[in-house]
Amino acid sequence: MKPAEIRALAAKIAPEVIQWRRHFHQHPELSFQEVETAAFVAKQLTEMGYQPQTRVGGSHGVVAVLEGGRPGRTIALRADMDALPIQEETGLSYASVHPGKMHACGHDAHTAILLGTAKALKEIQDKVPGKVVLLFQPAEELPPGGAKGMVEAGVLEGVDAVFGLHVLNTLPAGQLGINSGPVNAASDIFKVTLYGRGGHAASPHISVDPVVMLGSVITALQSVVSRSVDPMKQAVLTIGWVRGGDADNIIPEQVEFGGTIRTFDPEVQTLIHARLKETVEGVAAAYGGRAEVVSTYGYPVLSNDEAMTAIARKCAALVVGEQNTVVPPVGMGGEDFAYFAQERPGCFIRLGTGTPETLTLPAHNPRFVIDESALEVGVAYYLSVVLHASQLMD
């Protein structure tokens, strides 16, 4: 198919894709809880003529396969389905009806785009080379994530390459952002408990104050990246939560805090985990207390295969033009598409969804919105990949 024909097919399906996206947005479900979302996806796929598998990977994964009418490779496309525990503040007419839950990261768009792609592929099935495996994945937002379970369930058996996308509000709608190599950081978490000796707030000299200990620990941890990591390498250590104490006049027995470590280099990753433990335990001991540090390795680095990235760029340029196929800055966010990309050559791209009004509204924000015109672009890109990747891989 010619690029203009691909865009025309995507435009034809776009109104339904928007409806699906708004349905998902209005009915968000958290990680590993995507019961209704998965059921809706399976129902739509069945009505299109697919025979979807459900509860794939031990959770709510949905997989469907399209047999093309021409010889070719097997290409997998992935969308994640889960929402976040955020109270929506967008004021949209289709805002979340579930208090404390919101699609604030665009997974509603990803799922709708892949459904739209599935429908479009049925219309041109005789023109499709090889096979297309449609992967609707639960639980990207919550480690251990849903991708790993789906991989272990064998969804990539026979697959030659895997492709995915994620909305990006800092990229204008109509553009596709594509990077080669590392595009998402390894995403680890840690929890620290600081133990002191509780007592009366008016007699701090006979207590060991874990709150004061906490202040010094947080300050000391700011030097882990700036003074222990090679400045030419990227790393982030962020404390995301603190808990401790219940009353104004009581020095508590303990306080807790936790956060995340983001890295691209395995040696840096190991170093930060070690320095975190050494720093916290050392400061705690200096105050007469002790510390317990539990750090957990999470999603690995997501790295785009060089050959698949080149294919993605060509397929993107066919539908949005060279001028709209850009190289965006690499961020430190985690992404469990990494598990798919570890098993098969893959490419994970950014779908521009920003407008002048939304460019400053990051994901995971209660006012997060996207430009829905980008949904059509996402479908067109996926169609271009399906129709051209086999030939470009030969």
Over residues 43-60, the pLDDT tens digits come to 999 999 999 999 999 999
- Indicate if 102 and 170 belong to the same structural domain: yes
- Indicate if 20 and 96 belong to the same structural domain: yes
Q: How far apart are CA 295 and CA 192, in angstroms?
A: 8
Partners of 137 in beta bridges: 80
pLDDT category of residue 75 using cuts at 50, 70 and 90: very high
Q: How far apart are CA 237 and CA 327, in angstroms?
A: 26
Whole-number pLDDT of residue 357 = 77
Domain of 243 in residue numbering reads as 186-299
How many C-beta atoms lie closer than 10 Å to residue 246's C-beta? 6
- Indicate if 11 and 152 belong to the same structural domain: yes
- Indicate if 281 and 354 belong to the same structural domain: no
Whole-number pLDDT of residue 358 = 75
Domain boundary among 269, 299, 329: 299
Whole-number pLDDT of residue 158 = 98
- Indicate if 82 and 221 belong to the same structural domain: no
- 315: CB partners within 8 A, 6+ apart: 381, 384, 385, 388, 389, 392
Q: Which of 217, 234, 24 is nearest to 136 (CA)?
A: 24
For residue range 280-304, list pLDDT tens digits in order: 999 999 999 999 999 999 999 999 9
For residue range 102-150, list pLDDT tens digits in order: 999 999 999 999 999 999 999 999 999 999 999 999 999 999 999 999 9
Mean pLDDT of 29-38: 98
Q: What letter represents residue 183's amino acid? A: V
For the chain, the C-alpha Rg in angstroms (whole number) is 23
Domain boundary among 299, 333, 362: 299
pLDDT category of residue 360 using cuts at 50, 70 and 90: confident
CATH of the domain at 280: 3.30.70.360
Mean pLDDT of 62-78: 98
- Indicate if 138 and 164 belong to the same structural domain: yes
- Indicate if 91 and 216 belong to the same structural domain: no
Mean pLDDT of 353-377: 90
- Indicate if 173 and 306 belong to the same structural domain: yes
Tokens of 313: 């760029």
CATH of the domain at 141: 3.40.630.10
Domains in the chain, number = 2
For residue range 210-269, list pLDDT tens digits in order: 999 999 999 999 999 999 999 999 999 999 999 999 999 999 999 999 999 999 999 999
pLDDT category of residue 270 using cuts at 50, 70 and 90: very high
- Indicate if 142 and 202 belong to the same structural domain: no
For residue range 309-351, list pLDDT tens digits in order: 999 999 999 999 999 999 999 989 999 999 999 999 999 999 9
- Indicate if 149 and 207 belong to the same structural domain: no
Residue 369 pLDDT exceeds 90: yes
Q: How far apart are CA 304 and CA 285, in angstroms?
A: 44
- Indicate if 24 and 155 belong to the same structural domain: yes
Mean pLDDT of 207-212: 97
**3-state SS, one letter per residue, for the chain:** CCHHHHHHHHHHHHHHHHHHHHHHHHCCCCCCCCHHHHHHHHHHHHHHCCCCEEEECCCCEEEEEEECCEEEEEEEEEEECCCECCCCCCCCCCCCCCCCCECCCCHHHHHHHHHHHHHHHHHCHHHCEEEEEEEEECCCCCCCCCHHHHHHCCCCCCCCEEEEEEEEEEEECCCEECCCEEEECEEEEEEEEEECECEECCCHHHCECHHHHHHHHHHHHHHHHHHHCCCCCCEEEEEEEEEECCCCCEECCEEEEEEEEEECCHHHHHHHHHHHHHHHHHHHHHCCCEEEEEEEEEECCEEECHHHHHHHHHHHHHHHCHHHEECCCCCCCCCCCHHHHHHCCEEEEEEEEECCCCCCCCCCCCCCCCCCCHHHHHHHHHHHHHHHHHHHHC
Measured CA distances, 364 to 99, 183, 207, 344 (Å):
16, 19, 40, 29
Domain boundary among 238, 268, 299: 299
Whole-number pLDDT of residue 359 = 75
Average pLDDT, the chain: 97
pLDDT category of residue 154 using cuts at 50, 70 and 90: very high
- Indicate if 79 and 202 belong to the same structural domain: no
Q: Give the distance from CA 319 to its chain's centroid.
A: 24
- 161-172 and 70-80 beta bridge pairing: parallel
Of 55 and 360, more confident: 55
